[in-house]
Copies of this chain bind each other. A is one copy, B any other.
Amino acid sequence: MQTNIEESIKLYGKKIDDLLIEIIPPDRDDYLSEPIWHHLRTGGKRIRPAICLITCKELGGNPDEALYFALAIEILHNMFLLHDDIEDEDTMRRDQPTVWVKYGIANAVNSGDYLLARAYHCILISPIPSEKKLKLLEIFTLTYEKTVEGQALDINARGATDYTVEKYLELVRLKTGYYLACGMVGGAVASGNADETIDKIWNLGKLMGPAFQIKDDLIDLTVGKGRGGVIGSDIKEGKASFLYAYTSELANSGDKASLIEIMTKQRDETTDDDVKHVLNIYNRYGAIDHAQKYADDLIKQTYDIIDQIPTDNKAVFRDIANFMSQRMT
């Protein structure tokens, strides 16, 4: 059976957007609507919530039962963007000043807090039985908590000099793994499937997290991130990528010293030559090839799990795995 993930995302995206306006009214005079909608209007493709609804449907459930949870995931995602932009001192997002730049840190922290309250509210008013609702609240809280734990590692890993692939994977498992799995798991819970299937969906998501993140790290070095496809933003930011982790472990002392020197430079002090130099070091140790293979192997592992999921339409889940391990903004 063939599927078209992008079409489903578009279809469900409309439902999500309608409910979003209901849950977070855009025009309230409360010093929250304005900063939040300044951020929400910058876009977002509603991929996470759509995948929640697709999963629910493909596992035999009614997507309307997962709709409020799906939106909660989308709200959580945006709450993290608001707080992460403060924490990472990012001044621009999708060509607009970030909320903390435009409305101040106080309003940005508080607006993020408000989003989280509305995400919980959204799950609490879901039209589903109590036991399912409690399960969704547990999944959501676990995901929220683990992502924050991952963010704590991330904040404090910038410029780390003793970085390893193991540390990288731990960070990514926490910061991205639960987060990517959460929507699918919620869809599975809403569909009423057995715990055994739900566990498989968790495992699926936990493999997709690192796969997505490693691919994202590679994109920075191949087609580039952001406008104009500038190569090496992660290097300029000193982001501890898979490439950096892998090379740090293998490099001789001279190369390692070079790497650390460049990665710990301030963003605006890192030159294009510095970026090229780091790329050369990565290539010298075969890091880019290794990262590609590592991510592909993770995707292969997700296929093995998908084979065990009780659905006739395994192609949808393979498409989701492929789609989510590609670039997602």
Contacts and interface: CB of A to CB of B under 8 A. Distances in A.
Interface of A: 30-32, 83, 86-88, 105-107, 109-114, 116-118, 120-121, 124, 130-131, 133-134, 137-138, 141-142, 144-145, 148-149, 151-153, 155-156
Contact of A149 (B30, B130, B138, B144): B30
Given A131-B130, A134-B130, A32 B141 contact: no
A152 B110 contact: yes
Query: Considering the complex of A and B, which 10 residue pairs feature the smallest CB-CB distances, nearest first?
Result: A117-B145, A87-B106, A31-B152, A120-B141, A114-B148, A31-B156, A106-B155, A113-B148, A117-B144, A130-B130
Given A121-B141, A124-B141, A153 B30 contact: yes
A320 B113 CA distance: 29
A114 B149 contact: yes
Contacts of A131: 130
Copies in the complex: 2
A121 B145 contact: yes
Contacts of A130: 130-131, 134
Contact of A153 (B31, B112, B118, B152): B31
Q: Is the interface of A mostly helix, strand, loop or mixed?
A: helix
A148 to B, nearest CB: 5
Contacts of A106: 86-88, 155
A278 to B, nearest CB: 24
23 contacts: A30-B152, A31-B152, A31-B153, A32-B149, A87-B105, A87-B106, A87-B110, A88-B106, A107-B155, A111-B152, A113-B116, A113-B144, A114-B145, A116-B116, A116-B144, A117-B141, A117-B148, A120-B120, A121-B141, A130-B130, A130-B134, A133-B134, A137-B137
A126 to B, nearest CB: 11
Contact of A114 (B113, B118, B137, B152): B152
A162 to B, nearest CB: 14
A190 to B, nearest CB: 16
A76 to B, nearest CB: 11
Given A117-B141, A120-B120, A121-B142, 8 more contacts: A31-B156, A83-B113, A110-B152, A114-B152, A117-B145, A124-B141, A130-B131, A134-B134
A30 to B, nearest CB: 6
A35 to B, nearest CB: 9
Contacts of A114: 145, 148-149, 152
A110 B112 CA distance: 11
A122 to B, nearest CB: 10
Contacts of A109: 83, 86-87, 109, 112
A120 B116 CA distance: 12
A121 B148 CA distance: 14
Given A124-B134, A145-B118, A86 B105 contact: yes
Nearest to A114: B148
Nearest to A144: B117
A31 B170 CA distance: 14
Given A116-B116, A121-B145, A149-B114, A155 B105 contact: no
